[in-house]
Copies of this chain bind each other. A is one copy, B any other.
Amino acid sequence: MADKKVDLYSLKLPEDLRKLSYEQCDDLCRQIRSVLIKTVSKNGGHLASNLGTVELTVALHRVFSSPEDRIVWDVGHQAYTHKILTGRLDRFGTLRKEGGISGFCRPDESEHDAFISGHSSNSISAALGIAYAKKLSGDKHHAIAVLGDGAMTGGMSYEGLNNAGKSDTNMIVILNYNEMSISRNVGGMAKYLSQMRTKSSYKKTKTAVEKVLDVTPVLGQPVKKVVKSSKEAVKNMILHSTMFEELGFEFIGPLDGHNIEELETGLRTAKELHKPVFVHVNTTKGKGYAPAEANPGEFHGVGSFEIATGNPDVVCQDSFSSVMGKELCRLARADKRICAVTAAMKYGTGLQYFAKSFPDRFFDVGIRSEDAVTFCGGLAAEGMIPVFAVYSTFLQRSYDQLIHDLAIGGLHAVICVDRAGIVGSDGETHQGIFDISFLTAVPDVVIYSPSNYGELKICLKKAVLEQKGIAVVRYPRGRDVSSNSADIVAWEHIHAQNGGRTLIMSYGRVADNVEKAAALLEEKGIVCDTLKLVKVFPLSDKVKKIVNSYDRVYFFEEAYRCGSLSEKLAAVCPAVKSFAIDGFVSHGEPAQLLDELGLSAEKIAEKVEGLVNDET
């Protein structure tokens, strides 16, 4: 087989990988890259990071035997090649499409996906659990965590490293170092890793130094004395001089992440050591696709694009994120207390404008949502007004910090919850459906949920300048597609009174669907009033009074059922029936998913028609 032209589609994978020559492997990697570029250009997804790990993945599957050896991919931004090599090549064209394969690792999709991925920095902890379980059952196979330098800077990675290094397990941590996390890496660890990257002579150096120290006692008198007394200390420092060795790992690397032979040699050594090993691999993000190599940041997570140029199919437009970012700049110009904080999502949250205009007051703390909230607490304690912009799903990490470091002290901070509600193709690990439940479970929080750009600006100003304590402004991913995007709106809630005995209500993006549903119902002769909440929590007496004046109230909500606002309102207003989201929501197009969840205008109208007919 080693002399034949290799064809990705005719191989039995991953088994056949081991039969290939290095030359055939390189050819295979080219074919894989072509599949990656073709698919992501159509479906969107994570490109640059996946192009960087093609050789690493091939080498991993040649050296280790999945699924007996368990590979845990952190975040999953780099696991597409793993999917292609483990039985999902034929379906790879369905990537991120509803019913198709997920953009992240999912154990229910394949036995080769050892653990769920989506949120950063969990891979070492999970792999260590797997490694201990194997040890307890006498299984000699390996647990392997693969993570990028971005994930490595998160606190959970550090917690995992601390426990893994001293463990007596077959645990391997592979750092995929590409000098680039989602945004630019931040902080001391990033700097440290960057130094490591360039230490290609590290292993050699170590040996050399050992030799030097062995001969130093023969040095001349003045130096000899000093060295003798400190020799052991110095030796210890040099021999355990990488942070990872200090944590108990055997260190291998840095390896060239695009040289399969070098990778295999390193990984085989790691495998044979049968103890915790840390492998440092240098990769180039976007490798093999010129537009992505040139702009890895832009090709991290992308929509569909033209392959030849790399140009996106859709021209950049305003979004809730960018409108927030620009409005915050306007406010910050007039008030020097306003600071902006992001956890490695400067562009995603629209804070690039703020970063440019007010670099002193802009803080990117890295992929560290926990730290970000407590850091806001520190700023607030000294009278600044911190605004932390974060995706709903990632704010889940900060629940304790919101309670402990902001709420107890009554500190004023604004949390801009971006990507609230259904986000679409990124699937269940990324849907922002829990923020209402866990934010309302923090005492004294106020939540605004604007449904269009105009309301967003008003809510942001109110939250920043007038509110006390934790003020939340939450808005969906993407653009304002509401039919009513007037700049000035009734402040607290709009009440369309048509004289019906039935009220349909919602907030945020779904409020627009409620309006449309009422129009559809009117066509059928069913008159319903509608209510949109903008300041959604705490539920005001005014809202309760309005609601209590109706016979039937149907509250449709783009949020998880338990802890939802409709549940809270139903608890005090018996006429209210809650229609919220029942559980995890898989990947797909947002509009399609909303429809399936019963939250499109058509489905709302249908549901209300049925309910009204049942009751009359």
Identify the A interface with B (CB < 8 A). Answer: 70, 72, 107-108, 114-116, 118-119, 122, 125-134, 136-137, 143, 153-163, 165-166, 186-192, 195, 199, 201-202, 204-205, 208-209, 211-212, 215-216, 219-220, 223, 226-227, 229-230, 233-234, 236-238, 241, 243, 246-248, 336, 339, 360-361, 363, 365-366, 368, 370-371, 374-384, 386, 396-397, 399-401, 403-405, 407-409, 428-429, 434, 437-438, 440-441, 443-444, 560, 562-563, 567-568, 570-572, 574, 576, 578, 583-584
Contacts and interface: CB of A to CB of B under 8 A. Distances in A.
Given A237-B237, A246-B243, A428 B408 contact: yes
Contact of A215 (B72, B223, B365, B377): B223
A558 B381 CA distance: 31
Closest 3 CB pairs of A and B: A129-B378, A155-B155, A188-B247
Nearest to A123: B374
A370 B126 CA distance: 11
Nearest to A204: B230
A386 to B, nearest CB: 7
Contacts of A219: 212, 215, 219
Contact of A126 (B156, B368, B377, B576): B377
Given A116-B404, A143-B378, A382-B130, A212 B226 contact: yes
B371 A156 contact: yes
Contacts of A562: 440-441, 443, 563, 568
A161 B188 contact: yes
A202 B199 CA distance: 25
Q: Which of A129, A209, A375 has the most CB of B within 10 A?
A: A129
Contact of A381 (B115, B383, B386): B115
A563 B538 CA distance: 13
Contacts of A129: 374-382, 384, 386
B381 A114 contact: yes
Q: Which of A166, A233, A336 has the most CB of B within 10 A?
A: A233
Given A130-B378, A562-B568, 15 more contacts: A107-B409, A119-B404, A125-B370, A125-B374, A129-B384, A136-B361, A155-B156, A162-B368, A209-B230, A370-B370, A407-B584, A441-B441, A441-B562, A444-B583, A567-B567
Contacts of A403: 396, 434
Nearest to A122: B374
Contacts of A378: 72, 115, 125-133, 143
5 contacts: A115-B405, A115-B409, A137-B383, A154-B155, A397-B400
B234 A205 contact: yes
B195 A381 contact: no
Nearest to A394: B400
